[in-house]
Amino acid sequence: MAKRVMNMYGAKRLLFISSLAALAAALILSTGGSCAQALHNPEMLYRRTAGVSLSNPTTDPADFEQHLQIPILLYHEVGEPFSQWEELFVRTADFEKHMKHLRDEGYSCISMKQLAAHWRQDHPLPSRPIVITFDDGYRGNYTNAYPILKELDMTATIYVVEAALGKDNFLTEEMLLCMNRAGFEVGHHSASHRNLTGLHREDLKEEISRSRTRLQKQMQVPITTFAYPAGNYDDAVLEQVQDAGFLSAVTNRPGLASYHQGLLELDRISIYRRHGLESFKQLLQSHLDK
């Protein structure tokens, strides 16, 4: 079902992009080709999910080639399984090995906010940027993962489900705030984690916009990034995420995040319990080699 929605969406998107590419070409002709960024890649400026043109038209287009692709890792829980979804529980010892490997390889953790600022406004990033994300807001993010990340001077983005906050096995508000003060970003993962595709407009607003507003008020932190529950989305979901003003959104589609995907449809690399150090290294390398 999800696949069908995605396929339909892909077809429509192609049509949309081709019409926008034509528009971009017309604009370039009408301005005598003076817009360096549009010449660099017309499609970039008019991807609807990019939402805005890059804000500084005088920026050297070459800057944008520095990090056209950035790995965004997707974890759920770190620790021993307490539900039937065992694959989502990465062993704490494995997680530590993953993180030490990234540090030894010279990766620098950045937030989704930094990634969006880089691609929207050419904000500079450290070398070898990577984003560590956690979906659902499980408690082990704080009790098991956070001490390891803190020790290694690394940070992450935590996508929380509003209804789960404070429940058994999930983060409390205090835990989330503690990590946020240490440089972790809070992202939104819907009000209730239901499948967002096929919902009525009002339900979508509740799941995406209103719950985000409540969460921001409760946490007193800006929330500008969204993760689609189970990676499911369609045109209406995308529109709501864009209308709500999110600067970035992540999917569960496997791959490196790329500027060309649009900032509201970014790929991630899912890490599961089966990933010990060697398979983690292989998985990351396989995406980097593509």
**C-beta closer to Zn ion: residue 194 or 287:** 194
How big is the chain by its Cα radius of gyration, in Å? Answer: 19
Residue number with CB closer to Zn ion (135 or 265):
135
Which residue lies nearest Zn ion, judged by its C-beta?
135
Compute the least distance from the CB of residue 230 to Zn ion, in Å.
6
Shortest separation between residue 173's beta carbon and Zn ion, angstroms: 19
Query: Whose Cβ is closer to Zn ion: residue 50's or residue 266's?
Result: 266
Q: How far apart are CA 78 and CA 75, in angstroms?
A: 8
C-beta of 144: minimal distance to Zn ion in Å?
18
Please tell me the distance from the alpha carbon of residue 42 to that of residue 105, in angstroms, as a whole number: 34
Token pair 């929330």 is found at 223
d(CA 145, CA 98): 11
Contact set with Zn ion (CB under 5 A):
135-136
Taking residue 188's Cβ as centre, other Cβ atoms within 10 Å add up to 26
User: Bridge-partner residues for 257, per DSSP?
Assistant: 70
248 and 225 Cβ atoms separated by less than 8 Å: yes
Residue closer to Zn ion (CB basis): 136 or 267: 136
CB of 187 to Zn ion, least distance (A): 11
Q: Give 94 or 135: the residue with its C-beta nearer to Zn ion.
A: 135
Q: What are phi and psi of 78, to 5 degrees?
A: -115, 120
Nearer to Zn ion among residue 37 and residue 232 (C-beta): 232
Q: Cβ–Cβ contacts within 10 Å for residue 94, how many?
A: 18
* CB 40, min distance to Zn ion, A: 35
Can you tell me which residue has the tokens 């979906």?
135
User: Shortest distance, CB of residue 76 to Zn ion, whole angstroms?
Assistant: 7
Structural contact between residues 197 and 2, judged by C-beta atoms closer than 8 angstroms? yes
